[in-house]
Amino acid sequence: MTLWEIICVILNFAGALAVFLFGMKLMSEGLQKVAGNGMRNMLSRITNNPISGILTGTAVTTAIQSSSATTVMVVSFVNAGLLSLYGAVAVIMGANIGTTVTAWIISLFGLGESSGLFSLPMFLGAVSLCFTFSKKNRMKSIGELVIGLAFLLVGMGLLQNAMPDLQQYPRFLEALGTLSQWGYLSLFIFIIIGALLTCLVQASAAMMAITLVMCYNGWISFDVAVALVMGQNIGTTITANIAAMVANANGKKAARAHLVFNVIGVVLTLIVFYPLMNLIDVITVSLSGLSPHSADPKQAAEVMPLALSLFHTFFNVANTIILSFFIPQIIKIVDWMVKTPVVTEDDETPKLKYIAGGYLNTPELNLQLARKEIEDFSKRVLRMYTFLPGLRSKNDEEFSASFEHIKKYEAITDRMEMEIAKFLTKISEGDLSREGSQMISSMLRIIDNLESIGDTMLQIAIHRRNKRDDEVHFDQELNDNLDRMTTLVEKSLSVMDANLQTDYTKIDLAGAYDAEDQINRYRDELRARHLNALKLGVYSYSVGSAYSGIYALYEKLGDYVINVSEAIDNSQKVAKDEAKSQKQ
């Protein structure tokens, strides 16, 4: 083979692999948009019940077609404290089961001369869905899903054609055969090869597709293919471990747990390897009448993809069932691997928790991370509010301490708004459902108002400082009035925070409006009494100016607070309208 021929083979293979991966991406995004808000909330509802975690991991990975993406997402959630390490290990176990779906799709539809018979009708049906139901977003999403599946099948056909015919290179096949004759040493070698190739390709599904093509063409034996698949399961853990490099100790532990689980699974499988191969052989013969260990190379090659898919599923399901009883022991292992540093949490550090690990290749699920970051943003705003009463202190040291706290927190709100907005903007560049796009719009409005709340608190602090510098003093009545206003705004903030922390479909909008109405009515009452006091000369203009400026800022703060709950409600109205249009 000439150098030019080698280059052409590499380019054709790379192009076929690109089509396959593009199909997987389209299929994943279509599934995410069809699943919608349910999948976004799925991970947040996981408990320490391993069954719920395993089922969630299976469902999410089936939807996004990447155990690596699921695990990276889990690392982010654990890093932020959204998931316990126990729940994370269970999700990772389920992710390994979910990734078996790709192998079955390829085995059943994507190999052989009939693959084109499926892909072309899929394109026709998908395009029909997209044009016929152009205004129904759910049907369009289903169409995108089908187009992705069709591209995946086309990619498999291209991979088959792009693969060089190794039968023309007997020396290579002879060397491959020699490597396959050393028993457990051969298995170990091909496990390492499978792990290294998966690390390079960064997609275990793509490596599974390549392995299935090699099986179908009869280039490798069934035992070698199985060893490659086990290696792929180890190699796919590298993505999460790379992502965990910037995570905290718990995030690193979640990534290591993925590695530990897959390595232990491979070790357990090697212990019973040959009896397991016999079992897979029996099941395959009962289903197809052919054996992957058949002396006839053509018959073995024909049934090997089915047998390999059976093994892949059995391997992941059996290991998950067995090791689900040993999650505490796995956690002990990763605790030993990653030491948790003893640190004091600095509440005034402008550090993001949930999106610090970076953007995930799952646009719809990124919204869940952004939402948790916004919930933390709200908690910081409430914390900032607790420093305002300290500004009434007669002690200069206490006043300065409270003022500096408020300044620091205002800087934090600025930084958080900017970072979350950048993250949401990046999500919006992905292929989102209409509901997801509206959620981003609402979140941007929410963080803008949360930042404005922080700005207003700083303005209140500055007014207090100016009043202090000018030696303006309020009598007990004015202080009591401001105390009551402070209490009303605090109630409004609490309702806002509760609405952000709860299911957006169950927010207390009536309670938010009631709290806002109380603030406005009391502001009107204070304004009327203030104007009357100025006419009667009850207090000086300087006192009146400082007093009215402060209560007006509190009312302004209340306006920003109600805007947050209204933004949440608007996103839910759009979601409801979307659901109605899909039913029609």
What pLDDT, on the 0 to 100 scale, is given for residue 346? 45
| Residue 305 pLDDT grade (very low, low, confident, very high; cuts 50, 70, 90) | confident
Question: Which are the contacts of 577, defined by CB distance < 8 A and separation ≥ 6?
Answer: none
- Position 114 pLDDT exceeds 90: no
Q: What is the end-to-end Cα distance of the chain in Å, rounded?
A: 60
- Which stretch, 43-57, 133-147, 328-342, has highest mean pLDDT? 328-342
Helix axes 363-385, 67-80, angle to 10 degrees: 0
| Residue 211 pLDDT grade (very low, low, confident, very high; cuts 50, 70, 90) | confident
Q: φ, ψ for residue 387 (rounded to 5)?
A: -85, -15
What pLDDT, on the 0 to 100 scale, is given for residue 570? 77
What pLDDT, on the 0 to 100 scale, is given for residue 71? 74
| Residue 560 pLDDT grade (very low, low, confident, very high; cuts 50, 70, 90) | very high
Output DSSP code: residue 392.
G
Helix axes 297-323, 249-271, angle to 10 degrees: 130
**Contact (CB, 8 A) for 26 and 151:** yes
- Taking the C-alpha atoms of residue 95 and residue 432, their distance in angstroms, rounded to an integer, is 23
Mean pLDDT of 492-506: 88
- Taking the C-alpha atoms of residue 467 and residue 462, their distance in angstroms, rounded to an integer, is 8
Q: Which amino acid is at 408?
A: K
Q: Using a cut of 0.75, tell me whether the model's pTM lies above it.
A: no
What pLDDT, on the 0 to 100 scale, is given for residue 288? 82
- Position 157 pLDDT exceeds 90: no
Tens-digit pLDDT profile for residues 238-280? 767 776 776 667 778 888 888 999 999 999 999 998 899 889 9
| Residue 484 pLDDT grade (very low, low, confident, very high; cuts 50, 70, 90) | very high
- Position 117 pLDDT exceeds 80: no
Q: Which amino acid is at 553?
A: L
Query: What does the block give as tokens for 321?
Result: 């069932």
What pLDDT, on the 0 to 100 scale, is given for residue 452? 95
Question: Which are the contacts of 502, defined by CB distance < 8 A and separation ≥ 6?
Answer: none
Tens-digit pLDDT profile for residues 279-301? 998 998 888 888 887 777 777 77
Query: What does the block give as tokens for 385?
Result: 């509010």
Q: Is 396 exposed, middle or buried (0-12, 13-18, 19+ CB in 10 A)?
A: exposed
- Position 191 pLDDT exceeds 80: yes
What pLDDT, on the 0 to 100 scale, is given for residue 27? 64
Indicate the helix (H) or strand (E) that contains 22: helix 3-35
- Position 518 pLDDT exceeds 90: yes
CA 115 to chain centre: 33
| Residue 528 pLDDT grade (very low, low, confident, very high; cuts 50, 70, 90) | very high
**Contact (CB, 8 A) for 102 and 24:** yes
Mean pLDDT of 413-420: 91
Tens-digit pLDDT profile for residues 335-349? 898 876 554 444 455
Q: Is 164 exposed, middle or buried (0-12, 13-18, 19+ CB in 10 A)?
A: middle
**Contact (CB, 8 A) for 495 and 509:** no
- Position 462 pLDDT exceeds 70: yes
**Contact (CB, 8 A) for 316 and 97:** yes
